[in-house]
Structure 1
Amino acid sequence: MPDSSEPADTATVADAVRGHWADRWLPAAARPYARLCRLERPIGWWLLLWPCWWSTALAAVAAGARWPNPWHLVLFMIGAIAMRGAGCTYNDIVDRDIDAAVARTRSRPIPAGQVTVRQAKIFLLVQALVGLIVLLQFNGFAIVAGIASLGVVAIYPFMKRITNWPQAVLGLAFSWGALMGWAVTFGRIEPPAIALYAASILWTIGYDTIYAHQDKEDDAVVGVRSTALLFGRHTRLALTILYGAAVLAMAVALGMVGVGWPAKLGLAAFAAHLAWQIAAIDIDDPDGCLKLFRSNRDAGWLLFAGLVAEAFLRGA
């Protein structure tokens, strides 16, 4: 929690990355907004981006292209950064009372008084506008598909109050890009994209369960639900099932496209990384859980690299 003698506009957030460029280089007035959109924690937009890039690469393989469309990859990255920031801002607006009661989050900009709710709402709209501009660069079908995701995004912050499975709703929202990459390439959604979407949902439930173990004591006190609390001491078994099913669904998606050894090798490396997470997890070590959660960025690279290599070799 920030020291009371420290000015509100320069106070750090308890769970923020220390020494990040956003805190060192941005003007003091801009720092609370950087924290609202979690600018110092890129892992969030990486996890939102991976299903988009996987789907784009898988579609490139299916289309016989030599590599994923670079412009689409850039647009998806910009959109992921903007919409992840918008989602975090929206979540902080909705959860401001809960955040004030949890040690790790009570120093976030809204409960700490660094940003008013009205200012946060304006910032949310600006980020959403950037996401809309990105979406409008795609075909009509993809635009409609992207807009359809907003319903799931809107209800997610409330799910932790009514279900033990808020991570599943997060999966529905964060994995939407698995449909989008294919829709942007082909103007439709087909079975390989649906299988990849299912795989991404299962993967998301797994990694966010690991993340939720950081807050399980506070969550239990304030009445917030999560799969971390639901699985408890059975978390390793639950992760084995979730991650195993995710890899199986990804294998189905790749099989539908008829991939060769590069994509299969990428999937095997991805599966090995998830197996390492399962073996390494200690649910009573918050720092260790955070490290494992963040390592999913690297897991995403493994699968993506395999798909890109597959497209390149097939198109050569």
Structure 2
Amino acid sequence: MRGRLGLWLDLIRWNRPAGWLLLLWPTLSALWVAAHGFPGWHLLAVFTLGTVLMRSAGCCVNDVADRDFDKHVKRTAQRPVTAGKVSVREALLLGAVLALVAFGLVLTTNAATIAWSFAALAIALLYPYAKRVVSMPQAVLGIAFSFGIPMAFAAVQSRVPLLAWVLLLGNLFWVLAYDTEYAMVDRDDDLRIGIKTSAITLGRADVAVVMACYVAFLLVWVAALAGRDLGWPFYAGIAAAAAQAAVHWTWIRDRGRDGCFRAFRLNHWVDFAVFAGIVAGYALK
């Protein structure tokens, strides 16, 4: 049993928390904005644990969907499902259990959040297959990874106002930025096996578009929250995020695998800076 547990933890990327942190910070930012400050321990716990659980469930589905592709990519060839250490049935069962636990958390909120959770699940299940037919599957991932934003508003306000969708749009640009960096790592392998990614579609424009997406993300969030009177802490957080994006340019400009992967792996700090600015802005009001 201890051996199976180790494989399951590897399957859900337990030792690589960057994935769920990329989901967590924009979701918590939306919670703070929707509640005009601290949202309460209940919602904080629900959305934090729910984020970890759903990202883990997503890994199970993604690895099953990509098992025939992953074996041709050096970075992913030893993933448990691809390597045959965990069966497809076992991975899907684990994913289903994790998703059901997450849904149990959602049931402690309200009817609006429960309703939106079904849309979030549908998009999460759609993404692993998007790369077979969509030239920019990162856009689908962007919606999936941003859906915690409308759900946070639904949990706090029992509705999803226009502001939530504007913030989702801004976050979509951020996801496009970091997941294109991720796709740049595997570009050669993906070309060989026929997977569609933004790094392949954009070609030599990849670095410029990544940086443009960073700019769009920050501008949209600044414009959306300018009327919230969050003061200097919010703008300090935005400045810190922009400074990190500038550093990322130095890592990805030559398109080297190590630099691109480093930029992706550390991207959660970009949005953490924005989240910290929002929290501090509300705390000092």
- Equivalent residue number for residue 202 of structure 1: 173
1:26-57 residue CA offsets vs partner (Å, 9 max, x unmatched): 92221211111111111111011122111011
Asked if the contact 1:178–1:200 (Cα under 8 Å) also holds between the matched residues in 2, the reply is no
The answer to whether the aligner puts 1:51 opposite 2:22 as a matched pair is no
User: Does 1:128 find its partner at 2:117?
Assistant: no
Alpha-carbon distance between aligned partners in 2 of 1:250 and 1:138, rounded to the nearest angstrom: 26
Q: Residue 250 of structure 2 corresponds to which residue in structure 1? A: 279
Instruction: Tell me the equivalent position of 2:69.
Output: 98
Counterpart amino acid of residue 264 in structure 2: F
* Matched-pair identity in %: 38
Cα distance in 1 between the residues matched to 2:123 and 2:85: 29
Q: Give 1:256 shift.
A: 4.2
Q: 1:284 to 1:262 in 2, by over 3 A?
A: closer
Amino acid in structure 2 at the alignment position of 1:107? Q
User: Out of 147, 164, 168, which is 1:193 matched to?
Assistant: 164
Partner of 1:5: none
Which residue, out of 208, 231, 244, partners 1:260? 231
Structure index of larger Rg? 1
- Matched residue count: 285
Q: Is 1:160 the counterpart of 2:134 in the alignment? A: no
Query: For structure 1, which runs of at least 5 residues remain unmatched after alignment?
Result: 1-25
Within-5 A mapping of 1:233-244:
233-244=204-215
Give yes or no for contact 1:210–1:283 (8 Å, CA) kept in 2: no
What are the residue-to-residue correspondences of 1:1-316 with 2, within 5 Å? Answer: 27-61=2-36, 65=37, 67-314=38-285
**CA RMSD, aligned part only?**
1.6
Contact 2:39 2:156 (8 Å CA) reproduced: no
Normalized per residue, which structure has more helix? Answer: 2
Task: Give structure 2 stretches of 5+ with no counterpart.
Answer: none
1:142/1:183 contact within 8 Å kept:
yes
Q: Are residues 263 and 68 of structure 1, via their aligned partners in 2, closer, same or farther at CA, if it must alter by over 3 Å?
A: farther
> How far off is 1:102 after superposition?
1.8
Q: Using the TM superposition, give the Cα deviation of residue 252 of structure 1 relative to its aligned residue in structure 2, in angstroms.
A: 1.9
